[in-house]
C-alpha cells in the first residue's frame, strides 16, 4: 500500500535524522523543519519523512552542501523548483539512521516560495480538521486510481492535490484579512475634550490594564514554575529508576555474551552427535531468552507527555531543552537497535533451534514451566532421564552454527559499546541539569 495510517514513529524518525543533521551542520545558522504529510499528526501518508534545511544567508549554502556531502549525500539540483535544492544519499558510506529511514532532504532559502508552501500546507492541515480529512481522502482515492503505482500516483497528485493546497493558501490569506478588519473601527465625534481629560482617561485605563496584567503574570508564572518542577521531578525519577534497571539488564546480557562465546568455541570443534549438556543449555539461554530482563526498553512516559502536550515549554533553560532533545534521540536509537536484535533472533535463530533443540529436554530444564529459560540457566537446573543431544546433527553446518552465534554476539556488543553508553550519557546530562535547576537531592 502506498498510503499508510499515521504513526507516531514518523516524528521519532524525524528527530533521529535531525540529530545526525544537526551534528553535521553544527555551528551553521540553519533551521531544520519537518514538513510533508508525516509532519501532520493523525494524517495518513507515504512513510517517507520530508525535511527542509532552511538558511537565511545565501553564503551558507556551500557550507551546508559540503557538510552534507561529508555524511554521504550528493546535490541533485533543484529539479525545476527554484530555491529548493534536493540532496540524496550517495551510497558510498553507511549511516545506521540516514540509510535506514526513508526520507527526502531539501535545502531551502528562508525566502523560498517552495518552503512557504511546505510550511503553510503543514500548519493549515495541523490546525484544520476538515482540511486534513479532505486531503487524506483524496490521497487514498488517488492511490486507488493509480493502482498503488508510485509514478502514476505522483502524476495524479500533481494534478489534483496542488489545487487543494492553493485553496489552503487562499483560506490562510482570508483569515489574515478578516483579522485585520476586526481591528478597524469607525470613529464618532462625542464632543471636544481637552488634553488633560484624554491624558487621565488613558493613564487610568493603562494603570488598570497594567495591574491586571501584572497580577495575572505573577499567577501564571507561579503556576508554570510549580508545573515545571512537578514534571522535572517525574522525569528525574523515571530516569533514575531506569538507570537501576539498565544495570540489571546489562548483567544478564553479559551472561548471554559469555554463553555465545562458549557456543562459538564449542561449534568450532564439537562432534554434533555427542551428548552436549553445556552447549544445549547455553543455546537455550542465548537464543530463546527475550524479555525486559535482557532487552532494555527505556521508560519514556513522562518524556512522551512532555512532547505530546507541549509541556516542554515549562523548562525555560535552553540547556535542559537541548539535553532532553538528545535523550529523545538516543531513546529512539535504542529502539531501532532493539528491533534489529529481536528481528535477528526471530528470523534467523528461531529456525535453527526449532530444528535442533529437543523440546522435551527443554520442558524438563524449565521444570515444566515453573522456571524461565534464564532462571533455569542461571540456577543450572538439572534434567533427569533425558540426555541432551542435538536433534538432526547430520544437518548442522559448522560454519553456519558459528556465524549465527557470532553475529548475535556482534550485535549485542554494538549496543553495549555505543548505543547504551550514549543513552547513559544523555540521561545523566538531563538528570544533572534538572538537579542544578530544581535542587533535587
The DSSP line for 406-435 is HHHHHHHHHIIIIIHHHHHHHHHHHHHHHH
pLDDT at residue 212 in the model: 60
pLDDT tens digits along 287-332: 998 888 899 999 888 888 887 777 778 788 899 889 999 999 999 9
Listing DSSP states for 219-285 in one string gives HHHHHHHHHHHHHHHHHHHHHHHHHHHHHHHHHHHHHHHHHHHHHHHHHHH--TTS--HHHHHHHHH
Q: Are residues 301 and 433 in the same domain?
A: yes
Q: Are residues 251 and 387 in the same domain?
A: yes
Give the count of domains, the chain. Answer: 2
The crossing angle, in degrees rounded to 10, of helices 398-414 and 195-269 is 150
Q: Show Cβ contacts of residue 385 under 8 Å, excluding neighbours closer than 6 positions.
A: 364
Top-ranked range on mean pLDDT: pick from 82-91, 161-170, 183-192: 82-91
Instruction: Give 298's DSSP letter.
Output: -
pLDDT at 180 over 70: no
- What is the rounded CA–CA span in Å between residue 120 and residue 105? 18
Q: Are residues 313 and 405 in the same domain?
A: yes
Q: Structure pTM? A: 0.52
Q: State which H helix or E strand residue 349 sits in.
A: none
Is residue 184 situated within a structural domain? no
pLDDT mean over 20-47 = 93
End-of-domain residue from the set 139, 162, 177:
177
Q: Which three cell numbers stand for residue 389?
A: 543431544
- What is the rounded CA–CA span in Å between residue 190 and residue 187? 10
Residue written as cell 501584572?
214
Is residue 27 situated within a structural domain? yes
Q: Which three cell numbers stand for residue 40?
A: 501532520
Q: Are residues 163 and 282 in the same domain?
A: no
pLDDT tens digits along 333-383: 999 999 999 999 999 999 999 999 999 999 999 999 999 999 999 999 999
Q: State which H helix or E strand residue 378 sits in.
A: helix 373-378
Is residue 115 situated within a structural domain? yes
Percent of the chain with pLDDT over 70: 87
For residue 264, give its domain range.
228-438
pLDDT tens digits along 210-258: 666 665 555 455 666 777 788 888 899 999 999 999 999 999 999 999 9
Q: Are residues 173 and 257 in the same domain?
A: no
pLDDT at residue 200 in the model: 66
pLDDT bucket at 105, cuts 50 / 70 / 90: very high
Amino acid at each position: 500500500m502506498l498510503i499508510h495510517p499515521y504513526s507516531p514513529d514518523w516524528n521519532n524518525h524525524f528527530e533521529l535524522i535531525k540529530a545526525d543533521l544537526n551534528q553535521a551542520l553544527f555551528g551553521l545558522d540553519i533551521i531544520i523543519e519537518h514538513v510533508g504529510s508525516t509532519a501532520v499528526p493523525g494524517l495518513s501518508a507515504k512513510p517517507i519523512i520530508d525535511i527542509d534545511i532552511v538558511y537565511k544567508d545565501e553564503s551558507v549554502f556551500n557550507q551546508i552542501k559540503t557538510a552534507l556531502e561529508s555524511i554521504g549525500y550528493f546535490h541533485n539540483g533543484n529539479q525545476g523548483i527554484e530555491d529548493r535544492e534536493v540532496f540524496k544519499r550517495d551510497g558510498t558510506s553507511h549511516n545506521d539512521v540516514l540509510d535506514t529511514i526513508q526520507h527526502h532532504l531539501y535545502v531551502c532559502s528562508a525566502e523560498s516560495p517552495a518552503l512557504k508552501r511546505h510550511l503553510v500546507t503543514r500548519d493549515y492541515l495541523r490546525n484544520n480538521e476538515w482540511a486534513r480529512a479532505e486531503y487524506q481522502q483524496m490521497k487514498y482515492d488517488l492511490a486507488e486510481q493509480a493502482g498503488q503505482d508510485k509514478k502514476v500516483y505522483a502524476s495524479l497528485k500533481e494534478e489534483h492535490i496542488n489545487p487543494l493546497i492553493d485553496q489552503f493558501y487562499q483560506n490562510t490569506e482570508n483569515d489574515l484579512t478578516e483579522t485585520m478588519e476586526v481591528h478597524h473601527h469607525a470613529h464618532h465625534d462625542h464632543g471636544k475634550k481637552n488634553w488633560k481629560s484624554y491624558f487621565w482617561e488613558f493613564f487610568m485605563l493603562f494603570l488598570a490594564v497594567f495591574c491586571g496584567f501584572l497580577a495575572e503574570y505573577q499567577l501564571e508564572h507561579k503556576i508554570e514554575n510549580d508545573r515545571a518542577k512537578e514534571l522535572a521531578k517525574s522525569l528525574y525519577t523515571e530516569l533514575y529508576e531506569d538507570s537501576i534497571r539498565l544495570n540489571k539488564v546489562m548483567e544478564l546480557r553479559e551472561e548471554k555474551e559469555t554463553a555465545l562465546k562458549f557456543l562459538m568455541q564449542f561449534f568450532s570443534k564439537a562432534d554434533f552427535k555427542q551428548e552436549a549438556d553445556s552447549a544445549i543449555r547455553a543455546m537455550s539461554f542465548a537464543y530463546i531468552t527475550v524479555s525486559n530482563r535482557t532487552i532494555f526498553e527505556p521508560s519514556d512516559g513522562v518524556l512522551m507527555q512532555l512532547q505530546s502536550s507541549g509541556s516542554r515549554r515549562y523548562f525555560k533553560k535552553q540547556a535542559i531543552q537541548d539535553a532532553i532533545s538528545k535523550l529523545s534521540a538516543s531513546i529512539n536509537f535504542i529502539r531501532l537497535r532493539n528491533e534489529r536484535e529481536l528481528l535477528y533472533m526471530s528470523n534467523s535463530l528461531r529456525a535453527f533451534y526449532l530444528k535442533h533443540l529437543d523440546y522435551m529436554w527443554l520442558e524438563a530444564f524449565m521444570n515444566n514451566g515453573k522456571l524461565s529459560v534464564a532462571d533455569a540457566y542461571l540456577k543450572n537446573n538439572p534434567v533427569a532421564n533425558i540426555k541432551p543431544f542435538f536433534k538432526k546433527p547430520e544437518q548442522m553446518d559448522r560454519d553456519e552454527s558459528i556465524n549465527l552465534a557470532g553475529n548475535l554476539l556482534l550485535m549485542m556488543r554494538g549496543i553495549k559499546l555505543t548505543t547504551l553508553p550514549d543513552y547513559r550519557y544523555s540521561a545523566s546530562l538531563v538528570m544533572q541539569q534538572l538537579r542544578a535547576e530544581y535542587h533535587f537531592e
